[in-house]
Amino acid sequence: MRELLIVVTEHAVTVIYGMALLVVVIGTAEAFVGALRAWTTKSSTHQRGDIWLRYARALVAGLTFQLAADIIETSISTSWQSVGKIAAVAVVRTFLNYFLERDVREARRQRHEEAA
């Protein structure tokens, strides 16, 4: 039974990493196309800001998926070295996620103040 759970967990981790990759790749492609459009046309500061806010949301979502996969991966790890490595990566991703979310909140706050 344990071996089955390990196999299922490994597949789940792979699927979740794939989902994170898709979210980040699609978000990056959208940001790239949006940035090209903004540079080639007259776009407002708000429109450019919206592009980067959407991109930040995609990055936050991707990092969150990766963190979930790391947490699941830790449950089947057998060595303290691999647990430490996963923990270090999780800490870095958590800090990146925190700062990205903070930037998104700050940008939203500024947009609401400017609109009022």
Q: Looking at residue 35, what is its pLDDT? A: 92
Nearest alpha-carbon partner for 59 in 29, 89, 91: 29
Q: What are phi and psi of 41, to 5 degrees?
A: -125, 165
Structure tokens at 18: 């794939």
The pLDDT of residue 63 is: 87
Enter the tokens of residue 78: 């057998």
- For 4-32, write each residue's pLDDT tens digit: 988 999 999 999 999 999 999 999 999 99
Cβ pair 64, 37 in contact under 8 A: no
